[in-house]
Structure 1
Amino acid sequence: MTAPLVIIGTGLAGYNLAREFRKHDSETPLLLITADDGRSYSKPMLSTGFAMGKDADALGMLSAGQMAIQLNAEIRTHTRVTRLDPDNRRIWIGNEPVCYRDLVLAWGAQPVRVPLAGDAADAVFPINDLLDYGRFREAAKGKRRVLIFGAGLIGCEFANDLLQGGYAVELVAPDAQVMPTLLPPAAATAVRRGLESLGARFHFGVVAERLERTASGLQARLSDGQCLECDLVVSAVGLRPRTELAEAAGLEVGRGIVVDRFLRTSAEHVYALGDCAEVGGLNLLYVMPLMSGVRALSRTLSGTAVSVSYGPMPVTVKTPVCPLVVSPPAAGSEGSWDIEGDGNDVTALFRSADGRLLGYALTGTAVQRRLALNKELPPLLAELPQALALTPST
């Protein structure tokens, strides 16, 4: 019996890879394994559900059974892989070995946990998948006050969504502005003011240290001694690529699972894709680079080696109260920000000393400039020279 292509994960990376692979190969057995219920959904929609009035069932698109039919695949749900065994070309699910032709690790990233004292430390909701969203949505029934840990991209998106859904929202963050790793201060101020216009309250330069249950809900004590009353807490302090099983199996791991430009790990016949992968030193937790990887890897797995390249990859942030598109300069880039505009309409351009555009942040009506500016940006990962691009896959 032919060993299957095995994909671990049924999020955007896993399911989109399976769809693309089936366009090139309709015969190879395909097995997808997931720790959740395997419903197909769009993860970016998780931070739009309250404004749209949609629960988890409404955000789900197809069941695991429907996806299995569509993909001509076997899908094993609520199943956790416990060990990778690349030397013998198999994985383990408890005491059950599963052999593979090729293995793709598409299991994403996990929420960073906030260390908290107090008797309600377990009452913090990360929202990283559809099941998380369903649990939070159920807990939010009849509640009004939401405290968000973190004011980065995800924290601001959830704040906008919850505010539009009728909730009172406060955000706690250790930095002095929103999205400090993505935005210059002028653009960050525009986003903050937009959210404040909806009623958001920000607490910068502090962290939550304790979370206690009270007669009326929850109380969070901050590092400056301030106490905030709330009914629900959302953790949006960041994501960390899942690397533990890969590292235990001897695969090279950095920020994520290290792969080459063909998305090959350091073990033969093992690939990594999406949020868990580190490609060319980059670990990008966004949809555009994920889909670039999907298109390339689907061809490689079907017999035609295709390397990954990233052009400009701007990120559209879902804060409709203050539209935002950002293409941050690469880490270590030398240059400075030029700021134009004021209020909610800010154009921030990061240029090198010789005037080359290396990144931008656009807010409000300035987002209309994104297409023109994208033409000036350098690629994040340039295409490989032809000789290297034609290197066959293992």
Structure 2
Amino acid sequence: MKRKKLVVIGNGMAGIKCVEEICKLEPQLYDITVFGSEPHPNYNRILLSKVLQGDSSIDDITINDWAWYKERNIRLYTGETVVRIHPDSSTVETQSGLRAEYDSLIIATGSSAFIPPISGIHKSGVISFRNIEDCRKMMDYAKKYRKAAVIGGGLLGLEAARGLLNLGMETDVIHNAPYLMNRQLDRTAADMLRKELEGQGMRFWLNKETESITGLNRAKGVRFTGGSSLEADLIVVSVGIRPNIELARGCGLETNRAIVVDDYMRTSIPDIYAVGECAEHRGIAYGLVAPLYEQGKVLASVVCGRETPPYTGSIPYAQLKVSGVEVFSVGDIREDEAETAMQLYDGIKGTYKKVTMRDGIVRGAILYGNTAEGMKLLDLVKRKSAVTALAASPGDGESGGFDEAAASMQDRETVCACNAVRKSAIMEAVIEDGMQTVDEVRDCTKASSSCGGCRPMVEAVIRFALRQGRTAEKQAEPAVCGCTEIGHERLKSAIAEAGFGSHSEVMRALGWTKPAGCGICRPAVSYYLALNGRQDANSRSDVDVNIFNIGLSVGIVTEEEQAAPGPFDSRSLGTALYRRWEGVPFPAPVNAAVTAGLHRPAGVLVRDIGITGAPSGWEIYAAGHAEHPVKQGQLVGIARDEAEALAMSVSCLQLYRESAAFGEPMWKWMERYGIIEIRETLLDAEFRSELLARAGAPDRNDNKEEGLGETYAAYLQ
């Protein structure tokens, strides 16, 4: 099949993250061409401050080296700036005259440093801090000059100032607000940060507006509004960013502050998409890595023709080390946005914690000095949790920090939000794959490879995993069959991660002793391929055809058949449940029962899924078994109405499909997985939304709990 042509304008983090995902999903679908204006392969712009501070080299912050592009047959043109897009002919043109045709075009031009309209701002000796070349200029200036000034007291400005101090320069920071990092911190945290940085040698000029850059031919200092001035040989401007949209505007794309995109990253012209800092989604242009990566994953599925949940927006947060100090901030933290729910200050330890709320809901948080709770608080903000949930968070200022937080985290909780890496993935990398250092885990899972803010927690999870491995010898997973030494979990993971598309690919790559497998392993491979959407039902063979007959059967007792009719519509609910899973394979046969009330339970407690109307609402039970060994179903949850009952049942069944071994009945899965873990997973709104998405929910609203009912109402018609 002839490959389509994909052109990506921009070789930065967002665009290449999208390319990475495309190569995982459909490695043979596109001939990919990437244009980058810088003379480097893809690197981590967030870690430029580490290079400036002398902690890392350019190679250390390279995400994908030259070999990565070559291995995937990606044409990379570095030092080439695209200057025109021709939608009518589906081509792009570079400044040097190169032209490239496309079937799909991704604009990932990122942003540039915002240069304020200050008199003399374009003089020699005034630079911004956005790329590798800026780092090199600052290093060169440090060899000749002694005094530096940084305009901007935000996160990037402070990191630039710290780097200049490391280079031996006297460094002043100029900020137009009354305290540092005023968008991420409150006055208390900012004052703590200022005192720490003053102790490191920085000097601060707060509430100062820069009127002009002094000097004749080159910069010699700054003059403030009001007449005072400051001498400086090097002036670094770090006051914000501006999306690069000139190229998009020139070809007629709809733009506002950035390129306007919909929930699938589509622009106003067909076959042209935008992602990253140059994209504006629902009026917001994000400048942090986690939202950009989330956008990239959605866009990769779109251009590969895969069904995908829409991108509905992100909760921006900052978790970074500012000049040796751990800082975390998320959500609404200003007094005019929310009120204080919790505030803890420890002047001896130099730690501070503040959590905000509005209408009883957690809205934001600030951590200074100890950010071990950062991901837990981020999760509470994302889930719009009630402030009562704070009682379950250690957060008393006396906890053991990252090690204690790592031990108390559940396996499904996120450690690295930028790359969506959960604790379980890091534990598996350490215990099963033998990784022992944070760099090894980073290369294996991507955890800590982006902003680097999660690195302390990744290190803590690694220590926890190593302790677990030493205290309890891991039992070898039984092989699927005699054709292989691989167990179900490893087989399932390999198929999910490697992108295999057929039995032969799986068995060849994983070292099967029988090239065609047998009647035991072949159905298992078929199921795991189908679970990942990698095998068409029409291509299955006689050996594995039976997996598509392992589905869900539903018994329904309606209101009319009951001795005492009630208000519950069991017929619609049972029918909707059956239709949702019709033709979808399961690890083992699943029997369900739906009844409108307890008067005719219909064996609800001895079915794999049992749903019954009750005074409190619909009760959902799971993992019952009517034959030997008889098992009573466990209460999974209680739903308000039919739509929510359907959503809870579907998410439970999807969790079973994804985490059970092929051939493992639901009652065995329950005993292994644990009812507490299942309940907590299904009650986690964000994780339940992910399960529903993978189960194929239509028109879902991931950010609203009430959206669960709206989503499944259509099934009940």
Report the TM-score, using the length of structure 1 for normalisation: 0.88
* Residue 274 (structure 1) aligned to one of 273, 276, 287: 276
1:161 aligns with 2:167: no
Per-residue CA deviations over 1:98-127 (Å, capped at 9, x if unaligned) read: 321111111101111133334972321112
Counterpart position of 2:318: 315
How do residues 200-219 of structure 1 correspond to structure 2 at under 5 angstroms? 200-213=202-215, 218-219=220-221
SS of alignment partner, residue 372 of structure 2: helix
Once the two structures are overlaid, the 10-residue window that deviates more, 233-242 or 308-317, is 308-317
- What residue ranges of structure 2 are gaps of 5+ in the alignment? 385-685, 702-717
Per-residue CA deviations over 1:373-393 (Å, capped at 9, x if unaligned) read: 22311369x868932369xxx
Task: State whether residues 52 and 135 of structure 2, in contact with CA within 8 Å, keep that contact through their aligned partners in structure 1.
Answer: no
Counterpart position of 1:26: 27
Change (3 A) 1:72 1:59: same
- 1: CA distance, partners of 2:271 / 2:699: 19
How do residues 300-379 of structure 1 correspond to structure 2 at under 5 angstroms? 300-306=302-308, 307-309=310-312, 312-329=315-332, 334-338=337-341, 339-343=343-347, 344-352=350-358, 354-365=359-370, 367-378=371-382
How do residues 153-192 of structure 1 correspond to structure 2 at under 5 angstroms? 153-192=155-194
Greater RCO, 1 or 2 (C-alpha within 8 Å, sep 6+):
1
Post-superposition offset of 1:86? 2.4
Post-superposition offset of 1:207? 2.4
Post-superposition offset of 1:337? 3.5
How do residues 1-394 of structure 1 correspond to structure 2 at under 5 angstroms? 3-27=4-28, 28-54=30-56, 56=58, 59-60=61-62, 65-94=66-95, 97-118=99-120, 121-213=123-215, 218-306=220-308, 307-309=310-312, 312-329=315-332, 334-338=337-341, 339-343=343-347, 344-352=350-358, 354-365=359-370, 367-378=371-382, 386-388=697-699
- 2: CA distance, partners of 1:158 / 1:98: 38
Per-residue CA deviations over 1:301-339 (Å, capped at 9, x if unaligned) read: 212032225565431133143310111329998422453
Once the two structures are overlaid, the 10-residue window that deviates more, 332-341 or 22-31, is 332-341
SS of alignment partner, residue 66 of structure 1: helix
Q: Which has the higher helix share?
A: 2
The letter of the residue matching 1:318 is: K
The letter of the residue matching 1:359 is: G
Post-superposition offset of 1:348? 1.9
Task: State whether residues 325 and 361 of structure 1, in contact with CA within 8 Å, keep that contact through their aligned partners in structure 2.
Answer: yes
Q: RMSD between aligned alpha carbons?
A: 3.0
Change (3 A) 1:214 1:145: farther
Post-superposition offset of 1:342? 5.0
- 1: CA distance, partners of 2:133 / 2:49: 14
- 2: CA distance, partners of 1:15 / 1:119: 33
Identity %: 25
Change (3 A) 1:89 1:317: same
Task: State whether residues 119 and 213 of structure 1, in contact with CA within 8 Å, keep that contact through their aligned partners in structure 2.
Answer: no
Change (3 A) 1:53 1:275: same
Change (3 A) 1:179 1:115: same
Per-residue CA deviations over 1:191-239 (Å, capped at 9, x if unaligned) read: 2222112111111122222323489972222223222122211110110
Greater C-alpha radius of gyration: 2
The letter of the residue matching 1:360 is: A
Task: State whether residues 186 and 333 of structure 2, in contact with CA within 8 Å, keep that contact through their aligned partners in structure 1.
Answer: no
SS of alignment partner, residue 143 of structure 2: coil
Change (3 A) 1:213 1:377: same
> Aligned residue pairs: how many?
387
SS of alignment partner, residue 180 of structure 1: coil
The letter of the residue matching 1:206 is: K
Task: State whether residues 8 and 15 of structure 2, in contact with CA within 8 Å, keep that contact through their aligned partners in structure 1.
Answer: yes
